[in-house]
Amino acid sequence: MSEMRLFTARLPALAFLLAGSLPLQAATLSAAEARYLQAHPVATFCVDPDWAPFERINEQGRHEGIGADLLQLAAHRVGLRLQLVPTRSWDESLAASQQGRCQLLSFLNQSPKRNAWLLFTTPLFTDANVFITREEHPFIVDPASLVDASIVFPRGTAMEERFRHDYPNVRVLNTGSEAEALALVSQRKADMTLRSLVMAADTIRNQGWFNLKISGELPAYANHLRIGVRKQDALLRDILDKGVQSISAQERSEIVNRHVAVKIERGIDYWLIGKIVAACAALLLLAAAWNLKLNKLNRELEHRSLTDPLTGLANRSLINLQLPRELARVARSGQPLSLLLLDIDHFKRVNDQFGHQLGDRCLQHVAACLRDSVRSSDYLARWGGEEFLILCPGSDSQQALLLAERIRHTLQQQPAPTGQQQTVSIGIASHLPGDDADSLLRRADEAMYRAKHNGRDGVVLHQQHRLASSPH
């Protein structure tokens, strides 16, 4: 069965442009730039040999892909001829550039490390970077909140360099190629990778990674892919920059569409295809319905696992998940964080005198008063037994003291189901340098027990060197 692609690699990289689909407008050069080109009409360049659909070296040894066509178009606009220096990997291309064996790197992100030996043109192409995970992985909103997670990058990428710096909480793995990175995610050897949206969509479709999905985007991490020129050739960078700036948005779009195109098959039984498509559609509808039901059940199970059934508040498990995330946010932003630990005073007497059923109603009463007192941004949980916990992002010790006193006042104004006043002892700990989850909880617990020791119905703030009781 014969086949053809909308773009054929048998032609030179610029063949479709010369065929008349895009106009070829020459860029205007200065006298110095024109003299440079007359003396240096050919420039050597290195590429990533395995980065489809952006670029690769094909079986005939030719440079092809989106980046290849954009580079050739920019060079054509300024009258520069290009000579490929073949390499076997991106690492080898980077090394060849550093050693001066090629003047240009064709299609790459700018980074502080690369600024050491390269100058960069304006972007040839801009593309979003997205997280790719297995299908069961939840959507990624903020990588800083991830705990015990791993991400895989092909070696030598600018995104790895930046991600290591911005998100030290995520373990970084390295591999040799895009395909290997996706394979590690597919095989559960890495939780995710962060790659170009165009590359991800093309690779997942063409290589059959159907157990993978796009699970989020880092808007500030977009790929701004440029031509990198050795610093010794600054005038060559200026010349190529004029070629890059002469490329229109329509021309970029046409080039991308030619490479992210589907195969056209000849001699196919379209009636058979129609039946197969109909059968697949029916299966997909059934699978979609089952997935919706399964997702709903999973959400219900997750909600139950993180909720206290008596009070409807969050439980200890949710706080154990959220507290490390908030501590990571504090480390990143420097914002304050406070934690309140509350214990109902003389609760054993309530159970002994009125019974456990009324005791449960007292727990629900305290939970309702707490819910009415906290902010929507606070995390309120039943910590266990008659203890409750409030995690207050963005609140310093004085704001936490005000919240604690508001809770005491609310409980004093609303009699419990026993008909008696129900009081609480409250311990507060605000984040200090060097605090982790255990030390913050331990200090709040010490403060709460000091409040009980002081006669109950009180508030104690645990500071670095002393425990301070709140006057009331």
Is residue 266 scored above 60 in pLDDT?
Answer: no
Q: How far is CA 346 from the centre of its chain?
A: 47
Average pLDDT of the residues in 388-414: 93
Categorize the per-residue pLDDT at 12 as very low, low, confident or very high, splitting at 50, 70 and 90: very low
Percentage of the chain with pLDDT > 70? 82
DSSP labels for 324-392? Answer: HHHHHHHHHH---EEEEEEEETTHHHHHHHH-HHHHHHHHHHHHHHHHHHS-TTSEEEEEETTEEEEEE
Cα gap 86→54, rounded to integer Å: 16
Residue 469 contacts by C-beta under 8 Å, 6 or more apart in sequence? Answer: 450, 451, 454, 458, 459, 460, 461
Give the total residue count for the chain: 472
Cα gap 452→67, rounded to integer Å: 69
Q: Nearest 10 degrees: CA dihedral of 7, 9, 15, 19?
A: -40
Is residue 467 scored above 70 in pLDDT?
Answer: no
- Write out pLDDT tens, residues 232-244: 999 999 999 999 9
- Write out pLDDT tens, residues 135-170: 888 888 888 888 999 999 988 888 888 899 889 999
DSSP labels for 201-260? Answer: HHHHHHTT-TTEEEEEE-GGG-EEEEEEEEGGGHHHHHHHHHHHHT--HHHHHHHHHHHS
DSSP code, position 7: S
List residues bridging with 252 in a β-sheet: none
Is residue 262 scored above 50 in pLDDT?
Answer: no
- Cα-only R_g, the chain: 31
Report which of residues 259 and 290 the model is more confident about. 259
Is residue 217 scored above 80 in pLDDT?
Answer: yes
- Phi, psi for 307 (deg, rounded to 5): -125, 140
Is residue 14 scored above 50 in pLDDT?
Answer: no
Report which of residues 236 and 284 the model is more confident about. 236
Amino acid 176: pLDDT: 85
Amino acid at 421: Q
Is residue 24 scored above 70 in pLDDT?
Answer: no
Place of tokens 């406070």: 338
Average pLDDT of the residues in 84-89: 94
Place of tokens 């054509």: 76
The answer to whether 329 and 391 are in contact (CB under 8 A) is: no
The answer to whether 54 and 66 are in contact (CB under 8 A) is: yes
Amino acid 51: pLDDT: 84
Average pLDDT of the residues in 407-429: 91
Amino acid 16: pLDDT: 43
Q: Which helix (H) or strand (E) holds 118?
A: strand 118-120
> Which of 54-63, 274-283, 360-369, 408-417 shows the lowest mean pLDDT across its residues?
274-283
Cα gap 418→30, rounded to integer Å: 90
CA proximity to 200, closest of 223, 182, 187, 225: 182
Range of 34-43, 255-264, 269-278 with top mean pLDDT: 34-43
Amino acid 11: pLDDT: 36
- Enter the pTM of the model: 0.47
Amino acid 301: pLDDT: 56
Report which of residues 207 and 72 the model is more confident about. 72
Amino acid 290: pLDDT: 63
Tokens of 460: 């104690």
Burial of residue 395 (number of CB atoms within 10 Å: 0-12, 13-18, 19+): buried
The contacts found for 164-173 with CB under 8 angstroms, 24 or more apart, are 167/143, 169/143, 169/144, 169/328, 170/143, 170/146
Burial of residue 177 (number of CB atoms within 10 Å: 0-12, 13-18, 19+): middle
* DSSP-based three-state secondary structure for 277: helix
Cα gap 154→181, rounded to integer Å: 6
Is residue 390 scored above 70 in pLDDT?
Answer: yes
Amino acid 222: pLDDT: 83
Average pLDDT of the residues in 287-309: 67
Amino acid 10: pLDDT: 32
Amino acid 440: pLDDT: 94
Average pLDDT of the residues in 178-207: 83
Average pLDDT of the residues in 37-55: 93
Is residue 412 scored above 70 in pLDDT?
Answer: yes
> Which of 118-132, 316-330, 433-447, 452-466 shows the lowest mean pLDDT across its residues?
452-466
Amino acid 289: pLDDT: 67
Residue 226 contacts by C-beta under 8 Å, 6 or more apart in sequence? Answer: 107, 108, 109, 110, 120, 121, 122, 123, 124, 244
Categorize the per-residue pLDDT at 341 as very low, low, confident or very high, splitting at 50, 70 and 90: very high
Percentage of the chain with pLDDT > 90? 52
Query: What sign does the CA torsion over 348, 353, 357, 363 have?
Result: negative
Amino acid 9: pLDDT: 33
Categorize the per-residue pLDDT at 273 as very low, low, confident or very high, splitting at 50, 70 and 90: low
Average pLDDT of the residues in 244-270: 71
Q: Are strands 264-265 and 3-4 parallel, antiparallel or unpaired?
A: antiparallel
Q: What is the mean pLDDT of the chain?
A: 84
